[in-house]
């Protein structure tokens, strides 16, 4: 069976749902992106090629029971709660203790939702158009007695479960999904071209979310004014050459969280961070009278933030911290996820 080594196909962020002939639409699921390989053994791999089997034993067992011939599929692991998907509780599953994982797999079992098929019975489907891959995926799911995810999250049963994502060619239906934040459009819409092959590692799809968000690397932090914890996290994105550039900060933390953050970040203090690229240090006409000192961190943590807009290569205002992305390789947090070309960093002023 072919190893999917270049990573999954990705999506770029846009502000509006694309329209016109050839566009199709799916719900954007709020979970862990996962490549599923079923063959002599079953493997679940994150978008950064990290093994996920040990964190979701209930899904591995379910696939063992239903497998019918080898295949490689693309999907999302989610955690279903009444009328909602809980990413925070899904994060709890990434625990180092096997006993804890086993307990959580019983208490809050996960659901795997499939939306693409890359290989079946040894046949590579990545060069086939999406419409053909969907047809083959629907047939595979029928053979595996996999049902389609309902359009109302209230009808989505708790896991463990294996489901097929719905899709549509109708723009009005996609807009209805997007508008229903309590249903299929809870995390937005993914738009895909029906004739497009599966482009591993490329941002060939389009994602439209209810708010602008980005997964950023934590490259450093500033200490709170009273020296009581972290004042702000300093955020970075990688360019095409693998350089980490400062793009903004987030300071939306309560007093207790600021103290806990400093304890969490202290082991990561040291060289690394922004590595001489565009960094948050130094004085500029924007920082007169401000304390610009900051602590560099090894770039080993990623987090998701919401922001207003990008201007001159940085987030115009302080970003809002949403959640840690422990499932994501920080090296994959690139400028490309924003759906636009990076700026000319050489002239952009430091913060």
Which sequence positions are flagged as catalytic? Answer: 28
Alpha-carbon distances, residue 102 vs 51, 56, 57, 107, 160 (angstroms): 16, 8, 7, 9, 13
- 39, two tokens: 């063959």
Q: How far is the CA of 338 from the CAs of 34, 178, 247, in angstroms? A: 21, 19, 12
Angle between helices 98-107 and 57-66 (to 10 degrees): 60
CA of 239: how far to CAs of 34, 162, 177, 336, 340, in Å?
A: 24, 37, 33, 8, 12
Instruction: Please state, in angstroms and rounded to a whole number, the distance separating the CA atoms of residues 265 and 108.
Output: 29
Measured CA distances, 120 to 49, 71, 133, 135, 339 (Å): 20, 4, 10, 12, 31
DSSP per-residue letters across 143-167: HTTPEEPPSSGGG---SSEEEE---
Other residues' Cβ atoms within 10 Å of the Cβ of residue 212 = 17
Element spanning 16, H or E: none
């Amino acid at each position: 069976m072919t190893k999917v080594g270049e990573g999954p196909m990705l999506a770029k962020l846009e502000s509006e749902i694309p329209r016109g002939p050839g566009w199709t639409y799916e719900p954007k699921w709020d979970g862990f992106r996962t490549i599923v390989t079923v063959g002599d053994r079953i493997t679940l791999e994150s978008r950064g090629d990290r093994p996920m089997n040990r964190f979701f034993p209930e899904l591995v067992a379910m696939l063992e029971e239903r497998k019918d011939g080898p295949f490689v599929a693309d999907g999302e692991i989610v955690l279903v709660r009444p009328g909602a998907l809980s990413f925070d509780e899904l994060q709890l599953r990434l625990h180092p203790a096997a006993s804890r994982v086993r307990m959580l797999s019983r208490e809050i079992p996960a659901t795997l939702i499939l939306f693409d098929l890359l290989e079946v019975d040894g046949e590579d489907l990545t060069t086939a158009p999406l419409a053909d891959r969907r047809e083959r995926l629907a047939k595979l799911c029928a053979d595996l007695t996999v049902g389609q995810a309902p359009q109302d999250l209230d009808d989505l049963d708790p896991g463990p479960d294996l489901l097929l994502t719905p899709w549509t060619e109708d723009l009005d239906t996609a807009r209805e999904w997007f508008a229903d934040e309590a249903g299929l459009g809870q995390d937005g819409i993914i738009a895909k071209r029906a004739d497009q092959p599966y482009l591993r590692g490329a941002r060939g799809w389009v994602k439209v979310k209810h708010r602008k968000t980005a997964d950023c690397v934590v490259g450093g932090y500033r200490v709170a004014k009273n020296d009581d914890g972290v004042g702000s996290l300093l955020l970075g994105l990688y360019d095409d050459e693998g350089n980490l550039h400062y793009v903004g900060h987030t300071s939306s933390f309560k007093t207790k969280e600021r103290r806990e953050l400093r304890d969490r970040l202290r082991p990561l203090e040291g060289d690394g961070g922004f590595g001489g690229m565009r960094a948050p240090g130094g004085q500029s006409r924007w920082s007169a009278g401000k304390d610009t000192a900051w602590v560099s961190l090894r770039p080993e943590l990623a987090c998701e933030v919401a922001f207003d807009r990008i201007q001159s290569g940085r987030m115009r205002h302080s970003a809002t911290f949403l959640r840690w992305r422990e499932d994501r390789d920080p090296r994959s947090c690139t400028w490309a996820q924003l759906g636009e070309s990076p700026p000319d960093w050489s002239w952009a002023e430091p913060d």
